[in-house]
Chains A and B, each alone.
Chain A
Amino acid sequence: AQKITQTQPGMFVQEKEAVTLDCTYDTSDQSYGLFWYKQPSSGEMIFLIYQGSYDEQNATEGRYSLNFQKARKSANLVISASQLGDSAMYFCAMRVDTGNQFYFGTGTSLTVIP
């Protein structure tokens, strides 16, 4: 069975500081992808970043980077230089290549403090 765990229900960060949102996953599949989505208070789900299980380098997209540690089965999201607009729920998700379902974690609520 596949599982995504996000252990931080809420996080606070000072504006312009970096923050790491934790995500661990469990799967017996060798080929899978890890995704992060942002959900602002308006409710839409916005794709942020993707990491494939065979990617040797950590993914980066602008201020977002993914700290992928395969042996530890973790895929933490790092947001650098936080902005007030980063305040939102953040969901980690996984998709295994033998299926098409996306498995989501319970989310982390990030609040950026001015």
Chain B
Amino acid sequence: EPEVTQTPSHQVTQMGQEVILRCVPISNHLYFYWYRQILGQKVEFLVSFYNNEISEKSEIFDDQFSVERPDGSNFTLKIRSTKLEDSAMYFCASSRGMGNEKLFFGSGTQLSVL
């Protein structure tokens, strides 16, 4: 079965540094998402992306965050100046369409901000 690929699996960074989390969604999918999960708790929505632009974003997704789909296959999440509270598992996900189309998740990037 096709899958969403995320790299790296683990990222350690110093507070204030920029990080880029990378994702390759499933090739025929049209909707892309970033979610995060702190310490196995609630899965929090960050942003959704469709037709080369952000379609929805949460309060968490402030000016420190940005997303990009630079080349038609990769989908990246950038955190400009990381804070301690950004430490979490970041999941990329994609969906073929709306309605009953399920969300396919990547295996996540565990971000640790020191």
Contacts and interface: CB of A to CB of B under 8 A. Distances in A.
A112 to B, nearest CB: 18
Contact of A43 (B44, B45, B50, B107): B107
B56 A104 contact: no
Contact of B48 (A101, A105, A107): A101
Interface string A34-70: 0101010001110100101000000000000000000
27 contacts: A31-B99, A37-B105, A44-B107, A44-B108, A45-B43, A45-B91, A45-B93, A47-B103, A50-B100, A50-B102, A91-B43, A93-B103, A95-B99, A97-B98, A97-B99, A99-B56, A100-B31, A100-B50, A100-B56, A100-B95, A101-B48, A101-B56, A102-B45, A102-B93, A105-B42, A106-B41, A107-B41
A35 to B, nearest CB: 6
A89 interface: yes
Contacts of B75: none
Contacts of B103: 35, 37, 45, 47, 93, 95, 102
How extensive is the interface on chain B, given as a class? 20 to 34
Nearest to A102: B103
How extensive is the interface on chain A, given as a class? 20 to 34
Given A50-B100, A104-B42, 10 more contacts: A33-B100, A45-B103, A47-B102, A47-B104, A52-B100, A89-B40, A100-B48, A100-B95, A100-B98, A101-B56
Contacts of B52: none
Contacts of B33: 101-102
Interface string B20-48: 00000000000101010000111111001
